[in-house]
Amino acid sequence: MGRNVSVDAGRVRYLQNISVGPHRIRADEPSEWGGNDAGPNPYELLLSALGACTSMTVQMYAARKQWPLQGVHVDLSYAKVHAEDCVKCDTDTRMMDRIEMQITLSGDLSEDQRQRLMEIASHCPVHRTLTSEILIHMREALGNPSLA
């Protein structure tokens, strides 16, 4: 499905060096959490993935339909909220994760086209992954990865 992602701890506290094929990204914690703010924190990277996938999915759908979409802008934020703040949520937990996403569609689109694009936005692959049950299989690698 894509290239593997590698993450190596930097020599500076919390700094992470991320490699995806030829691309290099840094992640860090903000200074108030003991980092140096040398890159987005892990939740900001997660929001970036969701926002990018949402925008791409909307663009692909509009292009396939030949709709006059000129641009997509996605603003996202993340917070922990009290479960009772989520009226439609079926959960026994006290705190839950909440992502706010606001999408701005540019172009001479009809109201029906705008509504359909907003529906399509919630079906992007990353959105579906985040709202599904996720199995993460973790194991310790044997040997030193820098020597491999």
d(CA 64, CA 62): 5
Q: Which pTM was predicted?
A: 0.85
pLDDT: which is higher, 142 or 110: 110
Beta bridge partners of 103: 74
Asked whether residue 5 falls in the same domain as residue 53, the answer is no
| Residue 94, domain member (yes or no) | yes
Q: What is the pLDDT of residues 22-42, one digit of tens each?
A: 999 999 999 999 999 999 999
H-run or E-run covering 9: strand 5-9
Percentage of the residues of the chain whose pLDDT score is greater than 70: 88
* The pLDDT value given to residue 127: 97
Asked whether residue 82 falls in the same domain as residue 68, the answer is yes
Asked whether residue 12 falls in the same domain as residue 49, the answer is no
Asked whether residue 85 falls in the same domain as residue 23, the answer is no
Asked whether residue 9 falls in the same domain as residue 74, the answer is no
Q: Which domain holds residue 71?
A: 41-130
Kindly state the tokens that stand for 144. Answer: 């030193």
Asked whether residue 45 falls in the same domain as residue 94, the answer is yes
